[in-house]
Amino acid sequence: MKNINNHYFRRRGIETPFFILMLLFSGVSISSQQIGEVVFPRVVTEEASFRVVRLAGDLNYPWALAFLPDGSFLVTERPGRLLHLDTRGVRREIQGLPRVVASGQGGLLDLVLHPDFDSNQLIYFTYAAPGPGGSSTALARARLSEFRLMDFQVLWTMEKKTTAGQHYGSRLVFDSKGFLYMTTGERGDSSRARDPSDSAGKVLRFREDGSVPADNPFVNRAGYLPEIFSLGHRNPQGLALRPGTGQIWLTEHGPRGGDEINLVKRGADYGWPVTTYGVAYSGARIAESPTAPGIEPPVHHWTPSIAPSGLAFYNGKAFSFWEGNLLSGSLAGKQLVRVILEGDSFRREEVLIRDTLGRLRDVRVGPEGLVYLLTDSPKGELLRLEPLP
């Protein structure tokens, strides 16, 4: 494995017309109005070379990215702003958001489009919602009309509020059957993660209207919330559907070490805090063993921690050698990591970018097969990886 650090970034430009011709020849479609500013002209990795282009800057802690059918973007900013960015770089604020508690790790968080967005214009988002006792993770949907949210609905809210400012989870993904999955963190209280009567530290599964599917694993089971799909998670901030399958994969933050990649299985217990490869921030041991009977082990763990956030399976033509690989951003590690799987098992990984772009909050694969990143900063950026010969 080859770690790509600063000295791999070649600071020699490439002519834009040649780049466009190369993309057209490879079958990748891109608007000339979206060229942006080249941040690094060449990054050399094992299977591909690419350049990094800045499409937008001065974003205030951007958290999530969505692609609109016309080629423009929606971006959430954690302090509580939803932006529309067009292909010329013009940004407009979307009006009509609910009250958001922007404190600690909370705020306006993930965002996904309804699978039939072209016809219904529905978007779904998560945020820290206020209430008696503090705040908690909430799920809402609304119809996007020009630059305003209409028909706003709160679909689900975590019942127990707390003044703690950490571990909201909040990633969203629709599966191939139209069910919506949502992650929740345990809000800094590890005892909540495996409590079946508490929605914290879980993967939840809903119908598109926020109702609970009848085939959820704990429906009609005494003591269990019916929306729970899996439990025992610490703070999952990466969630992705594996193309061509019904599989949902996630990444979650461990404590000091023990960050995990997990294949989400219905009704499974992922063990936090009974099992973990990490230790407490003090260095004290948390779990007697990283594995235990009845606990689903991680597919892979990162120790020391990289703080994974943002997860996507690569599916496209632009980086064909990455087909089927997982791409994970990281906060503490400031990395973009390519994870190569063999079936449902971890094979190896490659660090594509390290300590160069900053904390990577979100990773998305665009409809044209290019890779997009959001950096976690008060001067955050929307970046794109574009292939080079």
Would you name the residues annotated as active-site residues? 167
Assign 251 to helix, strand or coil. strand
Here the tokens at position 243 are: 């193309």
Which one, of 359, 374, 249, 352, lies nearest residue 42 by Cα?
352
Q: Are 53 and 43 in contact, with CB atoms under 8 Å apart?
A: no
Burial class from Cβ neighbours inside 10 Å (0-12, 13-18, 19+) for residue 223 reads: exposed
Here the tokens at position 218 are: 């704990």
Q: Are 120 and 142 in contact, with CB atoms under 8 Å apart?
A: no
How far apart CA 265 and CA 206 sit, in angstroms, is 15
Q: Are 253 and 214 in contact, with CB atoms under 8 Å apart?
A: no
Give me the phi and psi of 24, to 5 degrees please: -65, -40
Which one, of 322, 337, 381, lies nearest residue 357 by Cα?
381
How far apart CA 337 and CA 359 sit, in angstroms, is 13
